[in-house]
């Protein structure tokens, strides 16, 4: 699925994030999912270099693009929940004595440390996750622009459920553009 260059980019991104944010294994697992989403986007962009052949291919590409936007939204939401959890932990341990013992999960292992050791690490992780959220928001805006350009290029419009019923009585006319049904699971 991934080309050699996207795997190399994945490794480079992973190493860069680990070094830049000085992440532990547990907090890096969150970012690893984001990186895999990044690689999926890279492979999708490489496949989009070729022009689609027919309406079904256009509809499939459009559906994949909408799916990517949904994945980015869900990843942003998940990371925002992580930031709020980090904030709760920071607010809970900040007023306590720095020499007091506390426990931290690192890579699936519960480790005993002092608040003085844990607090800066949790703050660093929170800042790193916030930066990832900012980057994901930028990627989301780019993806939204890309999908709107794609819609304009291929004259795509979303078919509402009531339009589907109306078209049942119509005869075939001149088709202009590609019609895509509502997203799966949406109830309008």
Provide the residue-wise pLDDT of the chain in tens; the chain has 188 residues: 444 444 445 555 555 555 545 555 555 555 555 555 444 444 544 455 556 678 899 999 999 999 999 999 999 999 999 999 999 999 999 999 999 999 999 999 999 999 999 999 999 999 999 999 999 999 999 999 999 999 999 999 888 887 666 665 555 555 567 767 776 555 54
Total domains, the chain: 1
> Residue 73: which domain range?
4-50+61-159
Question: What's the rounded Cα separation, in Å, for the pair 96 and 115?
Answer: 8
CATH number at residue 72: 1.10.287.370
> How does strand 157-158 pair with strand 179-180?
parallel
Cα(69)–Cα(78) distance, integer angstroms = 14
**Residue 181 forms part of a structural domain:** no
Q: Classify residue 36: in a domain, yes or no.
A: yes
164 in any annotated domain: no
Residue 16 domain-assigned? yes
Rounded to 5°, the CA angle 140-5-139 comes to 5
pLDDT in tens, 22-32: 555 555 555 55
């Amino acid at each position: 699925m991934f080309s050699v260059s996207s795997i190399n980019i994945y490794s480079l991104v992973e190493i860069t994030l680990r070094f830049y944010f000085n992440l532990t294994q547990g907090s890096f697992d969150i970012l690893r999912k984001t990186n895999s989403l990044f690689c999926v986007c890279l492979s999708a962009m490489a496949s989009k270099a070729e022009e689609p052949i027919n309406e079904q291919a256009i509809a499939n590409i459009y559906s994949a693009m909408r799916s990517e936007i949904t994945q980015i939204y869900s990843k942003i939401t998940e990371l925002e929940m992580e930031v709020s959890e980090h904030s709760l932990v920071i607010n809970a341990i900040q007023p306590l004595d720095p020499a007091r013992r506390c426990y931290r999960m690192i890579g699936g292992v519960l480790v005993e440390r002092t608040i003085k050791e844990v607090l800066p690490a949790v703050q660093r992780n929170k800042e790193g996750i916030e930066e990832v959220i900012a980057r994901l928001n930028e990627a989301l805006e780019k993806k939204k622009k890309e999908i709107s350009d794609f819609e304009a290029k291929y004259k795509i419009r979303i078919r509402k459920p009531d339009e589907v019923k109306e078209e049942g009585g119509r005869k075939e006319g001149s088709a202009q553009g590609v019609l895509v049904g509502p997203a799966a699971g949406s109830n309008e």
